[in-house]
């Protein structure tokens, strides 16, 4: 019995092997293939999950030969798409660090094979963080239906939820943020009838009610101080409005906004007159890596929503003393966007302190729905600023986050279908040279086509976020919320 079984298995395996055709191309094209996702000539980290792809054409079979260093080869043939075995891929990448893979793709059309010019995938020897954390949500609207914050291991296709609002019905989860990509120090908000700000410090979770009499709202857009002792937040009076023009969709505007810094040890928000100016909209705070500067966006107050397209934010900085939690008395303008009739959002300094990346749009602060939104890079040493053309597209590029070693960044873009944001990752070297970005790989190429949710706020993490949903649920349901202290004004 066993002998027959083995014979059958061997026969089946040989049959499968025999199914692979020999590719004898009748036509050899000079151009590289148009593939989805576009991995042609991209730069990837050596630990990235397999870059599965398909050719954007009709065909009855597809063949790919992936050659690495030391003549290592992976050969795949399929009817639909190229799905690379994870183990072989990981080995190939590990052995090709600092070199390039050469990928030759052929497709079979009307019985004949067509071979395309080979393309390269550059394998960087600079490591990337463990994974990404993002929210999956239907695009852009005030939704309290199903959503969740998920983490994804970049070396595999494993995605697991950190929190889903199915656990706390009627809630909205948003604004996850980490201290220097550390998974043990995390902020996220849970909004709804029951909710609060979940603040995890060194793995310990607290639930905070962040509304005070002195601030106009709960804490909203967060950014951790590198010491882990403070988190900067904006407080915003937010309104959602809709465009009438078909090329635009939705706008979120602030009726008022300020910035506070939450002192975790003393459970107290602190601020100063310069960050709580009624004639100014202040938002999107972020600390410099040395923790001594607070960057933020600042715009002159306008009547909203009537003057929505006249609100333009500059990139500003104010000194911060982490020893005693005090602010400098002067605001510097680092990038005068209004002078070029533009507006800055999401200032994010690289952890090495060399660069600051931001999004530039025509007006307002809701860059995610602005087709003109592009990424810009400000060299904090030279003061030079440039558009990151290597990463930008004709559609929206908006939220972005640096890896902990400052050599990779992830950003959300609507370039695929103009409607759903997808995460792209790109390399950046010490001189600011940027590699061609690549779409976060998925196990099958139809993943993004079928997904009805946007990837929102992609953030790097250096390890898996270990959160017990039970603990969060108990705190929310049991109303175990701590009230933050009274605002301390400098």
Mark 172-201 with x for binding to another protein (rule: CB under 8 A) and - for no binding.
------------------------------
Mark 213-242 with x for binding to another protein (rule: CB under 8 A) and - for no binding.
--------------------------xxxx
Phi, psi of 486 (to 5 degrees): -65, 145
Long-range contacts of the stretch 73-77 (C-beta < 8 A, 24+): 75/20, 77/19, 77/20, 77/21, 77/23
Contacts to another protein from residues 242-301, by CB under 8 A:
242-251, 253
- Binding status of residue 341 toward another protein by CB under 8 A: no
- Using CB under 8 A, count the residues that bind another protein: 48
Of residues 253 and 344, the one with the C-beta less far from another protein: 253
Chosen residue from 167, 180, 205, 385 binding another protein by CB under 8 A:
167
Of residues 102 and 464, the one with the C-beta less far from another protein: 464
**What is the H or E stretch that residue 44 is in?**
strand 43-45
Counted residue by residue, the chain has a size of: 490
- To another protein, the closest distance from the beta carbon of 465 in angstroms equals 15
Mark 428-457 with x for binding to another protein (rule: CB under 8 A) and - for no binding.
----------------x-xx-xx-x-----
Chosen residue from 6, 144, 386, 483 binding another protein by CB under 8 A:
144
- Residue the block writes with tokens 């060194």: 202
- To another protein, the closest distance from the beta carbon of 420 in angstroms equals 7
Chosen residue from 389, 417, 466, 479 binding another protein by CB under 8 A:
417
- Coil, helix or strand at residue 475: helix
Chain centre to alpha carbon of residue 397: 10
Cα–Cα distance between 473 and 340 in angstroms, integer? Answer: 47
Of residues 145 and 321, the one with the C-beta less far from another protein: 145
CB proximity list for 426: less than 8 A, separation 6 or greater: 43, 390, 391, 408, 409, 411, 434, 435, 436, 437, 438
Of the ranges 165-173, 210-218, 311-319, 481-489, which one interacts with another protein (CB under 8 A)?
165-173
Cα–Cα distance between 133 and 173 in angstroms, integer? Answer: 13
Per the structure block, which two tokens stand in for 338?
A: 């209004």
Chosen residue from 203, 418, 463, 478 binding another protein by CB under 8 A:
418
User: Of 269, 207, 277, whose CA–CA distance to 232 is shortest?
Assistant: 269
The answer to whether 222 and 208 have CB atoms below 8 angstroms apart is no
- To another protein, the closest distance from the beta carbon of 158 in angstroms equals 13
User: Of 455, 464, 471, 453, whose CA–CA distance to 168 is shortest?
Assistant: 471
Of the ranges 82-90, 95-103, 135-143, 421-429, which one interacts with another protein (CB under 8 A)?
135-143
User: Of 107, 108, 104, whose CA–CA distance to 118 is shortest?
Assistant: 104
Cα–Cα distance between 425 and 435 in angstroms, integer? Answer: 9
Per the structure block, which two tokens stand in for 431?
A: 């001189």
Of the ranges 180-188, 222-230, 401-409, 417-425, which one interacts with another protein (CB under 8 A)?
417-425
- Binding status of residue 139 toward another protein by CB under 8 A: yes
- Binding status of residue 58 toward another protein by CB under 8 A: no
Of residues 165 and 234, the one with the C-beta less far from another protein: 165
The residue ranges that bind another protein (CB under 8 A) are: 138-146, 148, 161, 163-164, 166-169, 239-251, 253, 305, 308, 416-420, 444, 446-447, 449-450, 452, 468-470, 473
């Amino acid at each position: 019995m066993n002998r027959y079984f083995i014979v059958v298995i061997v026969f089946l395996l040989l049959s499968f092997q025999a199914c692979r055709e020999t590719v004898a191309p009748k036509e050899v094209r000079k151009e590289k293939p148009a593939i989805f996702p576009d991995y042609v000539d991209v730069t990837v980290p050596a630990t990235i999950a397999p870059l599965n792809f398909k050719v954007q054409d009709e065909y009855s079979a597809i063949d790919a030969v992936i050659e690495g260093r030391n003549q290592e080869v992976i050969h795949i043939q399929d009817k639909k798409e190229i799905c690379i075995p994870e183990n072989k891929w990981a080995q190939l990448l590990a052995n090709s660090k600092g070199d390039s893979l050469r990928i030759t793709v052929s497709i079979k059309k009307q019985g004949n094979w067509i071979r395309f010019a080979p393309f390269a995938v550059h394998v960087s020897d600079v490591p990337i963080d463990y994974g990404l954390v993002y929210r999956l949500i239907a695009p852009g609207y005030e939704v309290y239906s199903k959503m969740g914050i998920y983490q994804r291991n970049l070396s595999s296709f494993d995605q697991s939820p950190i929190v889903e609002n199915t656990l706390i019905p009627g809630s909205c989860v948003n604004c996850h943020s980490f201290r220097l990509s550390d998974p043990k120090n995390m902020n996220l908000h849970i909004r709804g009838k029951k909710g609060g700000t979940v603040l995890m410090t060194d793995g310990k979770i607290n639930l905070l009610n962040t509304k005070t009499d002195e601030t106009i709202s709960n804490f909203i857009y967060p950014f951790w101080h590198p010491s882990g002792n403070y988190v900067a937040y904006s407080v915003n009076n937010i309104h959602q409005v809709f465009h009438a023009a078909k090329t635009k969709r939705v706008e979120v505007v602030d009726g008022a906004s300020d910035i506070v810094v939450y002192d975790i040890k003393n459970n107290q928000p602190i601020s100063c007159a310069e960050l709580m100016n009624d004639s100014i909209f202040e938002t999107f705070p972020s600390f410099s890596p040395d923790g001594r500067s607070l960057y933020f966006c600042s715009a002159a107050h306008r009547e909203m929503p009537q003057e929505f397209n006249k609100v333009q934010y500059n990139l500003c900085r104010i000194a911060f003393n982490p020893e005693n939690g005090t602010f400098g008395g002067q605001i510097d303008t680092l990038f005068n966007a209004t002078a070029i009739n533009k507006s800055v959002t999401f200032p994010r300094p690289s952890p090495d302190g060399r660069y600051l990346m931001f999004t530039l749009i025509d007006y307002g602060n809701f860059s995610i729905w602005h087709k003109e939104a592009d990424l810009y890079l400000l060299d904090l040493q030279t003061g030079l600023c440039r558009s990151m053309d290597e990463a930008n597209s004709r559609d929206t590029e908006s939220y972005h986050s640096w890896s902990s070693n400052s050599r990779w960044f992830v950003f959300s873009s609507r370039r695929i279908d103009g409607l759903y944001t997808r995460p792209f990752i790109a390399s950046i070297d010490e001189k600011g040279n940027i590699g061609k970005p690549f779409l976060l790989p998925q196990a099958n190429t139809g993943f993004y086509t079928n997904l009805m949710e946007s990837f929102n706020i992609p953030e790097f993490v250096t390890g898996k976020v270990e959160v017990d949903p039970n603990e969060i649920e108990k705190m929310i349901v049991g109303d175990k919320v701590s009230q933050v202290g009274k605002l301390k004004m400098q």
